[in-house]
Chains A and B, each alone.
Chain A
Amino acid sequence: EIVMTQSPATLSVSPGERATLSCRASQSVSSHLAWYQHKPGQAPRLLIYGASTRATGIPARLSGSGSGTEFTLTISSLQSEDFAVYYCQQYNNWPLTFGGGTKVEIK
């Protein structure tokens, strides 16, 4: 099983600042990496797939990068609606696995 490790567990950021979230895979997943945003009481939302392709309707201030084992989700200027928990997921190997999540909170 591929283990996905996200860091940091919690990120305290002020509105308007940049946030950088990391996701590491225990072995290469090529570019088969997705990012999701999850808010309490809501369905998770797909943000990024293929490591760097934004899903429909996702604003340009969110960007993904990386390949192999190291991946990054960057939010260039945090807005109020961006405070949430973010998960990465690999879909290169079975079983599918998620990272433990990064909570982005207001500083």
Chain B
Amino acid sequence: EVQLLESGGGLVQPGGSLRLSCAASGFTFSSCVMSWVRQAPGKGLEWVSGISGSGDTTHFADSVKGRFTISRDNSKNMLYLQMNSLRAEDTALYYCAKGCTPGGYWYFDLWGRGTLVTVSS
């Protein structure tokens, strides 16, 4: 079965760090671009970060640039998001999403169910 399963969310204090993981299965992971997309409580979707299939190229939203790092381990079919200097506004449900698309375009044909990150003292 093709699926994405996020983990690593939890409650963290402002200024703290957290590492999210996404386990991929059922497809050729290294062929797909991957992204993290978040949804704050009561809000819409916000793209956070993306990484190419090889891991050579990464992109970040301005709101997380310099604080978050995205990486992948193609030997383990795993995607990661290292989140440092967390703020209250980073509180959200974080989704892992894949894009195995003709032409390598950055839209997402499969999403996970998300992992919740709460930043609060």
Contact = CB atoms under 8 A, between A and B. Distances in A.
Interface of A: 1, 32, 34, 36, 38, 41-46, 49, 55-56, 85, 87, 89, 91, 94-101
A42 B107 contact: no
Nearest to A1: B62
B41 to A, nearest CB: 12
Interface residues of B, number: 24
Main secondary structure, interface of A, reads loop
A1 B109 CA distance: 23
Given A38-B45, A101-B44, A95 B62 contact: yes
**The 5 nearest A-B residue pairs measured at CB:** A34-B107, A43-B111, A96-B47, A91-B106, A98-B45
A87 B105 contact: no
Given A42-B113, A43-B111, A49-B107, A95 B59 contact: yes
B101 interface: yes
Contacts of B45: 36, 38, 44, 87, 89, 98, 101
Nearest to A6: B44
Contacts of B11: none
Interface centre among B35, B44, B60 (most CB of A within 10 A): B44
26 contacts: A34-B108, A36-B108, A41-B113, A42-B113, A44-B45, A44-B95, A44-B108, A44-B111, A46-B107, A46-B108, A49-B101, A49-B107, A49-B109, A55-B109, A56-B109, A85-B44, A87-B45, A91-B106, A95-B61, A95-B62, A96-B35, A96-B47, A96-B59, A98-B45, A98-B47, A101-B44
